[in-house]
A and B are shown apart, each in its own frame.
Chain A
């Protein structure tokens, strides 16, 4: 071996040795947290894991050997999740991806806790270009697309069919009920009347005629809209408190209590108890969300859902109101955690997780609705009667809560007022007066009180 050959050999060996670290698989950990997520919603975070697997394969074909470890954390409630996320983000220990309600986009974006996802993904490319435009709108704030919708849903009104029959409804009446509700011919006060009839016939216990949600939620804005309230002024984008509509909303629940069809101490009923009661015919009329279908038919063991339960929009409150439903999509947000490289990978995982086939796993398992048009071509989704019917009956009339930095405060105060009227601490007028005073003091010009 001459010297030249030796030096060339050594050079090649050195090149191999130095190249080794580069050839070794790069490792990256992506942390994803999800709020308000029950056992059947595991695909909110598992979809990221599936996406990571696909992404790795794509990168391997391109010659980039990258290993992605996905760390998942699920919070079943909202309060602890939002507290944990906000404080972690302030302390720079946030996850890279969070699944949260769209209403968090405004405050989190303003505080710089999340990055605009439009900086990292091409919204004109598959699969993001197939997502419904209104959902992309709900995931945007101040004209910037901050997040990618993770699911869609709406919040129907439910009727226990056998009890309707007992109080004189024919099969045709029951079949036509959703259309009557949508047309505003069956109102919230008809709900109370029917609830009373069901109770008077001894079909359900007192206080179980109309059995609403047991805790705060986007649902209560539906009643405000039923009575003609609007949450945001479309022109100025300011929040709106319509005192008349809010008073009528509070009055409705006070009337339900006064008629004895809803319990005065209903708020705070344990969720497990509530689910088991509505799924077993202990309540006459109630309202919930599209995902309740899953809970009723699996964990609560309800069989023959469509023969036992009719569903519709939330009825109108009467003059000036409208039948409606609120959709509260959860979204994938890209947090400010980590450098741009990590954010780039996290954004790609969010993109892949939005593929129709992957998203349908979540939609059907948890009884949520599709985010994109092509999901109707996925057999798993299109074969599901609930997804199909809920989509056509409810989504055309669905709207979302506004993305506004002060909406959280408005929401908290609105709920506090409703709770105080419902439980008899204040009259509806006093409660709304206090809500207006408090919001006037705290939000000032940012809210229109009329």
Chain B
């Protein structure tokens, strides 16, 4: 019987487990994997090839490749010889064209593709454009700008050209276009001067928004609405809920209208002779005030609802009894309401810390981290690095390393809160049942 109920429990849990694996564990694992790679726009995600570009040869030469070999590798050459003619014949190139090439141009070389193709275009059996393009690869006798799908093919080709193992390794290293495993992302992150700035920004942002709005102001709203008559309280709560239900883009646009040079604040202050300015981006302090307000107004509504529900669960008799004893409102708040709210405060603090740490969409829309990276927080930095920047240089590896640190900070913060609020005591079984 017990065995069956265990299985039933597992069955009930399965959808949740699948969700956790798909939408939590796998992104975290992938982030961790990405963070130990050099993945970027240029390396691609799916792997690379070995391409012998002039730059690759130059950097191999800097790393000790014999200068004569480097010189040889960096030359382009197209030659009409027996080998090439045989290759072309095998590939099914028009025999008449090849015959003419052999008869008139055998032994001739050019040092770039364009000149070689010009030769082809002068033949009596003039090949058309598509034929020209299909003929030339067979006559290429250099490997410059050629791609090799794997190391074995590259090695074989380089060996034919007389490169020894050490030289081959150098060329392979500098010509590989894909990503490689590395721990350099973390080193870069810690050495980068801006990282500390971003860290401090994040701490300031999370702490200020959390304390002032998401818990503090939410508590004030919950208590005030608790003492308000029913209908007024509902209206008040609804108004405070608007920021949360307004689509973020529109919500932030309203703030921008309020703040920018020709916006509401500038118009009003203009009547008093204050020069118009972009109030949101005027100084870093301004930007921070707006960032905290924009996020805080959204965050406060959630806290308000949770605290309000928690206060409603407090038996009314306690309030009546305290009123009979002559308690003021403040004393009721201090001695009845607050002690009952420890659990919701723990939940909200933990939840909102994680939420503030990882959500950046409102900052992205409002200041995009500006002015001058003043409001660039950790998650926004990860987003900018990995997925969105003006130059289109998406550094998946470094961005993932930033994101991974965020995961670690989140887990650490949660554990800290659980200890701070003595979570284990709260969930321990009531002694009365023992």
With A111-B177, A113-B44, A142-B53 as contacts: A441 and B374 at CB distance below 8 Å = no
What is the bound-complex CA distance between A99 and B247, given in angstroms?
32
What is the bound-complex CA distance between A415 and B177, given in angstroms?
27
Across-interface contacts of B114 in A (CB, < 8 A): 123-124
Which of A12-20, A264-272, A354-362, A374-382 forms part of the interface with chain B? A264-272
Within 8 Å of chain B (Cβ to Cβ): is A308? no
Across-interface contacts of B282 in A (CB, < 8 A): 264-265
Across-interface contacts of B7 in A (CB, < 8 A): none
Contact indicator B55/A437 (Cβ below 8 Å)? no
Contact indicator B392/A408 (Cβ below 8 Å)? yes
Within 8 Å of chain A (Cβ to Cβ): is B367? yes
With A420-B373, A445-B59 as contacts: A78 and B192 at CB distance below 8 Å = no
**B277 in complex: contacting residue of A113, A265, A344, A407, CB < 8 Å:** A265
Contact indicator B42/A106 (Cβ below 8 Å)? yes
Across-interface contacts of A411 in B (CB, < 8 A): 390-391, 393
Which of B21-29, B125-133, B315-323 forms part of the interface with chain A? B125-133
Within 8 Å of chain B (Cβ to Cβ): is A82? yes
Contact indicator A270/B370 (Cβ below 8 Å)? no
The interface centre, meaning the residue of A119, A124, A206, A268 with most chain B CB atoms within 10 A of its CB, is: A268
Across-interface contacts of A103 in B (CB, < 8 A): 391-392
Contact indicator B192/A111 (Cβ below 8 Å)? no
Contact indicator B275/A206 (Cβ below 8 Å)? yes
What is the bound-complex CA distance between A270 and B262, given in angstroms?
10
What is the bound-complex CA distance between A29 and B147, given in angstroms?
29
Within 8 Å of chain A (Cβ to Cβ): is B281? yes
Contact indicator B118/A124 (Cβ below 8 Å)? yes
Contact indicator B371/A423 (Cβ below 8 Å)? yes
Residues of A238-275 whose CB lies within 8 A of B: 263-265, 267-270, 273
Within 8 Å of chain A (Cβ to Cβ): is B246? no
Contact indicator B41/A111 (Cβ below 8 Å)? yes
Across-interface contacts of A215 in B (CB, < 8 A): 390
**A270 in complex: contacting residue of B40, B45, B191, B260, CB < 8 Å:** B260
**B390 in complex: contacting residue of A78, A111, A144, A442, CB < 8 Å:** A78
What is the bound-complex CA distance between A126 and B114, given in angstroms?
15
With A111-B43, A125-B129 as contacts: A409 and B194 at CB distance below 8 Å = no
What is the bound-complex CA distance between A27 and B83, given in angstroms?
40
What is the bound-complex CA distance between A75 and B372, given in angstroms?
26
Produce 1/0 per residue, B91-134, CB < 8 A to A: 00000000000000000000001100110010000000110110
Least CB distance, A241 to chain B, in whole angstroms? 15
Contact indicator A441/B372 (Cβ below 8 Å)? no
What is the bound-complex CA distance between A206 and B187, given in angstroms?
45
- Total contacting residues, chain A, CB less than 8 A: 68
Within 8 Å of chain A (Cβ to Cβ): is B422? no
Within 8 Å of chain A (Cβ to Cβ): is B157? no
The interface centre, meaning the residue of A86, A216, A411 with most chain B CB atoms within 10 A of its CB, is: A86
Contact indicator B370/A268 (Cβ below 8 Å)? yes
Among residues of A, the one whose C-beta sits closest to the C-beta of B177 is: A110
Within 8 Å of chain A (Cβ to Cβ): is B284? yes
Within 8 Å of chain A (Cβ to Cβ): is B349? no
Within 8 Å of chain A (Cβ to Cβ): is B54? yes
Within 8 Å of chain A (Cβ to Cβ): is B202? no
Residues of B393-410 whose CB lies within 8 A of A: 393-395, 398
With A268-B281, A419-B370 as contacts: A412 and B275 at CB distance below 8 Å = no
What is the bound-complex CA distance between A211 and B216, given in angstroms?
43
Across-interface contacts of B309 in A (CB, < 8 A): none
Lowest 9 A-B CB distances belong to which pairs? A408-B393, A82-B392, A423-B372, A408-B391, A111-B44, A107-B42, A142-B53, A423-B371, A419-B372
Interface positions of A (Cβ within 8 A of B): 78-80, 82-83, 86, 90, 101, 103-104, 106-108, 110-113, 118-125, 142-144, 205-206, 215-217, 236-237, 263-265, 267-270, 273, 344, 405-409, 411-412, 415-416, 419-426, 433-434, 437-438, 441-442, 445
List 7 contacting pairs A-B, 8 Å CB cutoff, sorted by A: A79-B390, A120-B133, A268-B368, A408-B41, A419-B371, A433-B193, A441-B187
Interface positions of B (Cβ within 8 A of A): 40-46, 48-49, 51, 53-55, 58-59, 62, 76, 113-114, 117-118, 121, 129-130, 132-133, 144-145, 177, 187-188, 191-194, 260-262, 275, 277-278, 281-284, 367-368, 370-374, 387-395, 398
